[in-house]
Each structure stands twice: as C-alpha cells, then as structure tokens.
Structure 1
Amino acid sequence: MRYVLNRLIFFVVSVWAAVTINFILPRMMPGDPAQAMFAKFSNNLTPQAMHALELQFGFSNQPLIVQYFTYLKGLVTGNWGLSFTYYPTPTTTVIGQSLPWTLGLVGITTLISVFAGTGLGILIAWRRGKALDTTLPIASLFVQAAPYMWTGLILLYVFGFKFGWFPIAHGYADDTPPSFTLAFFLSALKHGILPAITIFLGSFSGWLIGMRNNMILTLGEDYVVFAEAKGVKPMRLVMMYAARNAILPQITSFAIAIGNVVSGSILTEVVYSYPGIGAQLNAAVLQQDYPLIQGAFLVIALAVLLANLIVDLLYSRLDPRVRTGGAAV
C-alpha cells in the first residue's frame, strides 16, 4: 500500500511539473506569439481589433501568476485555447479529431510489434544457435537501422506509386467520409497498412533482440538450471521459469512505448500525410500554432506519465521485490 501511495504522489507531482513547464516554455521563447500570429494582418487591422483578437486567443498582459492560474482553470474546464491554424476551432477539438487516428495506427501496430518481437525472442533464445537465431536478429536490426522516413518513402514508392496496391496519402478515401460503416472501415484499413508496416519494421527488432538477450541471461540462472535438471517439461520451463522473469525489463520498455503511442510516429505520419496527432504537431510547429503545440505536448506528457504509473503498479505485482525495496521475499 505504501508503494502504491508513493507512486501516486510521484504521479501527481510529475503531472504538476509537466503542466507548469508546458505553461512556462512558450512564455520564455523570444518574441510575442500574438505578433507572430497577426503580423500578416497588421496593415489591415486597427489596434482595437488587434487587441480584441489577442483577448480571444487568450493573450494577456496580466501578471504571470494570474496567467498561470487562468491557464490551470482552462485545463480543468477544457478551455485549451483556439487553434491558430484551424481558427476558430478549439485546440481540444483538433486534438480530439487527430488522437483516434494515432491510437488506431500506432497503438495497434505497437501491440503487434511487442507481442511478435517478444514471442519470437523467447523462441530463438530457447533454440539459440539455430538458423532462425542467427538470421532474424541481424535482418531485423538492419531494417530498424534505416530511418523511418527512408523506409516509409521506399514503401510508398514501390507499393503505392509503382504498383498502385495501396493509397499514397491520407487516412481514408475522399469519397468515403468518416462514419461507422464498413466502407469507411475498409478504406481506413487500406490507407493504414503502409504506415503500420513502416512503424512495425522500425520497432520490431528492439523487442526481438531485447527479449532474446533477457531470455539467454535468465536461462543461465541457477534456478532454471536446477528446474531443468529436475525434469521440468520444456514448455513449462521456458514460460513459467524463464520467460516470466525475463519479460520484466520488457514491461518497462512497454511503458515508454505506450506513452509514445500518443505522440505518434511523427515522420511516418508526415510521409504518408496521415491525419494523426504527430502530423498535427508538425504542422503546428511550422505554423507557430502555440495553443495546439501546448495542447499536443500536454497530452503526450500525460500519456507517458500515466503509462509509467500503470506499469509501475503492474511491475510491483509481477516482482514483489519492487514493493519491498529489493529485499528477499
């Protein structure tokens, strides 16, 4: 119970720190975001109209502490400001429309990559030295070494442009508007195959090699050797004795991966013009859309912190030594 309470307190403090940093950083940047936004209108707007727009977008000359509490109130009430790029659409609406695309694409692909890499890592570690063990890690590592953007462009050119098997841009066909229909689902699925393959190829090797190395170390532990000498069945030995302990470091990595799902694979989404939050964040930076940048970074930070909290609690259940500070149980 004490461990859980400590993790919850740490989570709350981390959320407060992330929110505060998200408030401070844009205000430390050189220049005035209001002027950057309205510079192109400066010759056509009166000072009164400029001031009215600044108020609408939330720019204020009040003391910093007053702005901070106004910012906190806006976060709680869902008033995250208006997007410059999609004015007058609220930032929360833009994020809400983009987030499901990233969760669907990156989330599902990450889960597939984790389970496939971890499962194959267990297999090749148990059968180490065989053909699969000597070829698969090297091949997957070679593919992962290629930058996301390069892999995406190659797949896009070969399978999208050259052969025409898959769409080359967007998340769904123009003639199939978003709806809960089979036609839209199939269109979104077809548009997501190439981006999903790109993300899978870029992350699979890490899970495969990480689990393989953990398994090899665990298989050499005394308790595993003793269990094997006692005649424990191979499948039980691998899954219940070795894999159960070797998978613990993978869970920590999984927390980071799940947190990064929200940020999306920015380069992949940009290459495929996929309507996820990663592409929106890239566009917001290019357009100097400060409210959207703040909102996207806040969602990403909260997702990472929440994922780490869940995994910390799960880790304490899988390994009781965590709750006891490393003491034997």
Structure 2
Amino acid sequence: MKFWMRRIGFYLITLWAAISLNFLLPRLLPGDPAAIMLGKLRRANGGRPISEETVKAITSILGAEKGSSLWDQYLAYWGRLLQGDLGISSTRYPAPVGELIAAALPWTVTLVGAATIISFVLGILAGAWVGWLRGTWLDQLVPITTFLQSIPYFWLALVLVAVFSVQLGLLPIIGGYDVFEFPAGPEWTPAFFLSAFVHALLPAATIVISSVGGWLLGMRNMMVQTMAEDYVLTAEAKGLRPSRIRTAYAARNASIPSLAGFGIALGFVVAGSIVTEQVFSYPGLGKLMIQSVQGLDYALMQGVFLVITLTVLAANFLIDLLYGFIDPRVRRDG
C-alpha cells in the first residue's frame, strides 16, 4: 500500500508542477503574449471588437488581468482548465483551442498509435527469433534495420513519396483523406474510412520502418542474455520442447524491459510524429503544433504541450503500476 501511495503522490505533485509551469511560462516571456494574441485576433476579426469573454479568456490563460494578482490569475487558470477551457486560437480565430486539439487528436492517435503497435509487435517477434537463432543468417537483420533506423524521418518519407506516389502513382501524397471526395469534412462512412486508410499507409510505413530496428535490437540482445540464465538451461536439461522453452521461458522474460519502453512510447504517441505529419500534411497534433509555433499562437501551443505532458505522465503512471504487479521486488524496493 505504501508503494501505491508514494507513486500516486509523486505523480500528483508532478502533474501540479507541469500545469503550474504551463501557467508561468507565458508570463516569463519578454513582452506581453496576451497583448500579442489580442492584436492578432483583432486583425483576424477584421478590426471588429472582440467580446469581453474572449479577452478575459486570453488574459487568464496567457497574461495579467487588470487589477488581479498573480495568485488570482493562477486560481482562474485552474478554474478554466477544470472546465476544459484552453483559450481561443489566434491563427484559427474564433475556434477554441480545445476543439482544435479534439479534432486533431484522433488522427494522431490512430496513425502514430497503430504504427507504434505494429512496429513493437514486429520488432519483438523478429528480435525473439533472431536471438533464439543467434549466429545464423538472421543476424543480418540487425544491421539492416539499424541502418533504416538511422535514416532521417523526412528523407525516408520523401523517398517513399517519390517511389510510391510520384513514380508508381499507387498512394496519395498528402492529407488524411480525399478532400475532393469529402469536401464537407470527415464522414462516418466506409468510403471515408477507406480513404483515410489509404492516406495513412505512407506515413505509417515511415514510422514503422524508422522505429522497428530499435525494438528488434533490444529484444534480440535480451533474448541472448536470457538464454544463458539458469532456469533456461534447466528447462533444456529437462528435455522440454524447444518451442516451449523459446516462448514460455526465454521470450516471455526477455520482453519485460521492452514492455516498459513500449508503455513510454505509447505516452509519446499523442505528441505525434512531427516531421512525418509535416511532410505528408497529415491533420494530426504534430502538424497542429508546428502551425502554432509558426503563427506564434501561444494559447494553442500551451494547449498542445499540456495535452502531451498529461498523456506522458499518465502512460508512465500506468507502467509504474503494471510493474508493481508484475515484479513484487519493485514494491519492496519502492
């Protein structure tokens, strides 16, 4: 029980610190981000007056409200966060930041999440086989996948576009779906999901090719190390089937460190693959982050960073709890 309480307390303090830092950063910037945002909003609105509610939201999120202390601003900031109010975007005025993030988040989670899972499964399965049959021709997979992992994301993405889109004409170059077929936006139809699937193939392939080598190498090395453990040698001496030794004894224990890394990788799924999404103009959170930085959209930047921070903390918290169940020594040491 003490272990669980300590972990929960640690993450609650970390969560408070992350949100507080998100509150303080705009107020530590030179100049007045709130005034900059309000000026951009007025220009985006054609010079027409902005509602008092919008002004209060911007100043509460980014800057000082007239006649209010820093503590009052801090409490107001927490109040708006608990209501789901992340402010108004200046680059896409008058769209609320929360709506923009909610629209981009499913694209990133689907694309990067699916690609991360596929990469992990392929890497673990291939790494287990390469480690089990170490010293054979399968070991050549390690330098090949490591070389692919070392290739820059943007260069690999451009190569895939040049081959499969420009030369062969098999796959679309940019976008998350066919905007000419669906000009009104996403629809819940089989035709739309097919279009989204086809548009996601190249970005997903870029992520899988660039990341599978790390999982394969890590699993292969752990597999080789596990094969030398006493309990594996004992299982071999007892005459157990090789398939049972490989699956139940070697691969099962060798995959535990990779599971921890997989949990952390899932936490960063929300951040998206910024370069990949930018190259393919994919409508995910990574592309939204780039646009917010280029447009100096402070409210949108804050909202995106906050969502990423919360997701990473949640993923690490779940992995800590999972490790506590899997390995009792963690609870004793904690």
Shorter-normalised TM-score: what interval?
over 0.9
Matched, 1:7 2:7: yes
Query: What is the 5 A alignment of 1:290-305?
Result: 290-305=298-313
State the match for 1:84 in structure 2: 90
Partner of 1:149: 154
Q: Using the TM superposition, give the Cα deviation of residue 322 of structure 1 relative to its aligned residue in structure 2, in angstroms.
A: 1.1
User: How far has the Cα of 1:5 moved from its partner?
Assistant: 2.1
Q: Distance in 1 between matches of 2:23 and 2:260?
A: 29
Larger CA deviation: 218-227 vs 192-201:
218-227
Give the 3 Å change call, closer, same or farther, for CA 24–41 of structure 1 in structure 2. Answer: closer
In structure 2, what is the Cα distance between the partners aligned to 1:208 and 1:4?
32
Could you tell me how far 1:50 is from its partner in structure 2? 7.6
Shift of residue 54, structure 1, vs aligned partner: 3.7
For residue 270 of structure 2, give the secondary structure of its aligned residue in structure 1: helix
- Extract structure 1 runs of 4+ deviating beyond 4 A: 38-45, 47-53
Against the structure 1 CA distance between its residues 41 and 272, is the aligned structure 2 distance closer, same or farther, given a 3 Å change threshold?
closer
Paired position in structure 1 for 2:288: 280
Cα distance in 1 for residues equivalent to 2:56 and 2:77? 14
The answer as to whether partners of 1:107 and 1:261 remain within 8 angstroms in 2 is: yes
Indicate the residue corresponding to 2:330 in structure 1: 322
Question: Cα–Cα, structure 1 residues 185 and 40, in superposed 2: closer, same or farther, change >3 Å?
Answer: closer
Note the aligned Cα RMSD (angstroms).
2.2
Q: Distance in 2 between matches of 1:90 and 1:130?
A: 57
Alignment pair present for 1:131 and 2:132: no
Going from structure 1 to structure 2, the CA distance change for 1:153 and 1:216 (only over 3 Å counts) comes to same
In the alignment, structure 1 residue 30 sits paired with structure 2 residue 36: no
Does the aligned pair in 1 maintain the 2:41–2:90 contact within 8 Å? no
Q: 1:183 aligns with which of 170, 177, 191?
A: 191
Separation (CA, whole Å) in 1 of partners of 2:255 and 2:327? 11
CA contact (8 A) 2:186 2:192 kept: yes
1:236-315 correspondence to structure 2 within 5 Å: 236-315=244-323
Is contact 2:37–2:298 with CA below 8 Å preserved after alignment? no
Aligned-partner Cα distance in 2 for 1:281–1:40: 18
Check whether the contact 2:97–2:303 (CA below 8 A) recurs between aligned residues: yes
**Equivalent position of 1:121 in the other structure:** 127
| Counterpart AA for 2:56 | L
What is the CA deviation profile of residues 17-48 of structure 1, one whole-angstrom value per residue up to 9, with x for unaligned ones? 11111111122111211333355688999x99
Contact 1:15–1:302 (CA<8 Å) still a contact in 2?
yes
AA in 1 matched with 2:310: L
Letter in 2 for 1:202: S
1:142 to 1:44, Cα distance in 2 relative to 1, 3 A: closer
CA–CA distance in 1 between the matches of 2:214 and 2:9?
Answer: 32
Deviations 1:92-128 (A, max 9, x none): 1000000000010000110011111011111110001
Give the total of aligned pairs. 324
Work out the CA distance in 1 between the residues paired with 2:44 and 2:160: 47
Q: Residue 103 of structure 2 corresponds to which residue in structure 1?
A: 97
2:177 counterpart residue number: 172
User: Which secondary structure does the structure 1 equivalent of 2:333 belong to?
Assistant: coil
- Distance in 2 separating the partners of 1:10 and 1:34: 32
CA offset digits 1:184-243 (Å, max 9, x no partner): 000000100000000101110110001111111111112211221122221221222222
Where in structure 2 are the equivalents of 1:20-59 lying within 5 Å? 20-39=20-39, 49=49, 52=52, 54-58=55-59, 59=63
The alpha-carbon deviation at position 65 of structure 1 amounts to: 1.3
